[in-house]
């Protein structure tokens, strides 16, 4: 994507700051630049025409940059898109950088930004957005493939995810391949802690809404080639295959938990805060091969550990 094709929105309550940034971007060859004087106006702009990159001031009245980021991420989740977000701030220090990244911000610049650095950061953010959107499109294509398996009774009707039979079929194949090629297979079982109480309070329909959102979040948290399946009741399973056993990283599981816990779940009765717990078992291909049933049993045992201890979110 060339700079002329990029859609960029600058959000700042100070007109002078907006003009300075827009001028710098125009000089760098970015033509598709829109300006908003508040976060609400920016969200309306995105609804009318999606943006590749949003540059927003951290400190703004009514809705600050972090809150704007949360709204954009929610909209991205619902539409199946990705918007790169860069925040401007007068603050300096690692703690602000960490806070920004924890809230889903892609990059962070101190004010006033250097024009050359600004252009370079926007270019890098645009590449990130393009890559993420390509991955999401691949995921959508894979989802279509999964939907075509519905006649084979491998789909969970409520969420559109693969069901337990789908997970078992893939798990057996991955275990055999890992054993033959000395790779690795990770099985993660995920449960939402509060779902039973939500079902009792709000009913099955709200639970279904949450599970649909949960499937979307899990799908975005993993690679397009990873398997995501809906099992019984409040349980999801994820299969991650590694061509080399050493490629397995626990950070991939932590990323899944962050995707579950980071934002409230939007439902027809309002936003609901929900926490997840995960049980993980990893099979290395240089070990004696185990059955898919044993793999699920081992991951289930770890989930029981995480489920039984409110302070333990992940058990390996």
Q: What would the pLDDT profile of 101-153 be if each residue is shown by its tens digit? A: 888 899 989 888 899 999 999 999 999 999 999 988 998 888 888 777 665 67
| 113 and 230 together in one domain | no
Confidence of residue 4 (pLDDT cuts 50, 70, 90): low
| 71-80, 91-100, 183-192: least confident range | 91-100
Residue 105 lies inside a defined structural domain of this protein: yes
| 290 and 175 together in one domain | yes
Q: What is the percent of the chain with per-residue pLDDT over 90, rounded to a whole number? A: 76
Residue 144 lies inside a defined structural domain of this protein: no
| 167 and 302 together in one domain | yes
Residue 288 lies inside a defined structural domain of this protein: yes
Summarize the confidence of residues 205-219 as an average pLDDT: 95
CATH of the domain at 195: 3.30.70.270
Q: Which residue has the higher pLDDT, 245 or 119?
A: 119
Q: Which residue carries 């609901």 as its tokens? A: 272
| 110-114, 224-228, 255-259: least confident range | 110-114
Residue 259 lies inside a defined structural domain of this protein: yes
Residue 14 lies inside a defined structural domain of this protein: yes
Summarize the confidence of residues 199-225 as an average pLDDT: 94
Distance, in Å, from the CA atom of 114 to the CA atom of 201, rounded to the nearest integer, reads: 53
| 233 and 275 together in one domain | yes
Residue 146 lies inside a defined structural domain of this protein: no
Q: Domain ends where: 115, 138, 161?
A: 138
pLDDT at position 71, please? 95
**Count of domains observed in the chain:** 2
| 96 and 210 together in one domain | no
| 165 and 307 together in one domain | yes
| 129 and 196 together in one domain | no
Summarize the confidence of residues 177-199 as an average pLDDT: 95
Kindly report whether the global pTM for this prediction surpasses the value 0.85.
Answer: no
The set of long-range contacts for 71-75, using a CB threshold of 8 Å and a minimum separation of 24, is 71/39, 71/43, 72/43, 72/46, 73/104, 73/263, 74/263, 74/266, 75/43, 75/46, 75/47
| 108 and 247 together in one domain | no
| 217 and 183 together in one domain | yes
Q: Which residue has the higher pLDDT, 175 or 233?
A: 175
Summarize the confidence of residues 248-277 as an average pLDDT: 93
| 128 and 156 together in one domain | no
CATH of the domain at 53: 3.40.50.2300
Would you say residue 53 has pLDDT above 90?
yes
Is there a cis peptide before residue 112, judged by omega within 30 degrees of 0? Answer: yes
* Among candidate residues 273, 255, 254, 253, the one with its CA nearest the CA of residue 264: 273
Confidence of residue 20 (pLDDT cuts 50, 70, 90): very high
Q: Tell me the residue range of the domain where 118 lies.
A: 3-138
| 128 and 167 together in one domain | no
Residue 36 lies inside a defined structural domain of this protein: yes
Q: Domain ends where: 73, 105, 138?
A: 138
Under 8 Å between Cβ of 120 and 109: no
Would you say residue 52 has pLDDT above 80?
yes
Residues in the chain: 316
| 127 and 172 together in one domain | no
Confidence of residue 91 (pLDDT cuts 50, 70, 90): confident
pLDDT at position 1, please? 54
pLDDT at position 108, please? 87
Confidence of residue 92 (pLDDT cuts 50, 70, 90): confident
Q: Domain ends where: 138, 166, 192?
A: 138
Residue 213 lies inside a defined structural domain of this protein: yes
């Amino acid at each position: 994507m060339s700079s002329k094709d990029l859609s960029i929105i600058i959000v700042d309550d100070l007109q002078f700051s907006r003009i300075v940034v827009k001028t710098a971007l125009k000089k760098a060859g970015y033509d598709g630049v829109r300006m908003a004087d508040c976060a609400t106006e920016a969200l309306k702009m995105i609804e009318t025409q999606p943006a590749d990159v949003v540059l927003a001031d951290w400190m703004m009245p009514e809705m600050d940059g972090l809150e704007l980021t949360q709204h954009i991420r929610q909209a991205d989740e619902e539409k199946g898109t990705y918007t790169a977000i860069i925040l401007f701030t007068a603050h300096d220090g690692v703690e602000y950088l960490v806070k920004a990244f924890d809230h889903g911000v892609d990059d962070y610049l101190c004010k006033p930004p250097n024009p050359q650095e600004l252009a370079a950061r926007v270019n890098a953010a645009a590449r990130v957005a393009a890559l993420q959107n390509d991955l999401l499109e691949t995921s959508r294509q894979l989802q279509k493939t999964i939907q075509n398996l519905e006649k084979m009774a491998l789909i969970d009707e409520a969420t559109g995810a693969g069901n337990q039979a789908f997970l078992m079929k893939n798990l057996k194949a991955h275990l055999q391949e890992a054993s033959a090629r000395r790779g690795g297979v990770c099985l993660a079982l995920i449960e939402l802690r509060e779902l039973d109480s939500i079902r009792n309070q709000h009913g099955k329909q709200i639970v279904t809404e949450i599970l649909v959102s949960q499937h979307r979040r899990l799908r975005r948290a993993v690679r397009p080639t990873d398997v995501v399946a809906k099992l019984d009741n409040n349980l999801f399973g994820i299969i991650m295959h590694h061509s080399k056993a050493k490629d397995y990283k626990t950070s991939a599981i932590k990323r899944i938990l962050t995707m579950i816990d980071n934002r409230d779940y939007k439902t027809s009765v309002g936003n609901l805060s929900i926490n997840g717990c995960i049980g993980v078992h990893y099979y290395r291909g240089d070990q004696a091969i185990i059955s898919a049933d044993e793999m699920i049993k081992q991951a289930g045992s770890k989930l029981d550990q995480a489920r039984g201890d409110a302070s333990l979110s992940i058990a390996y």
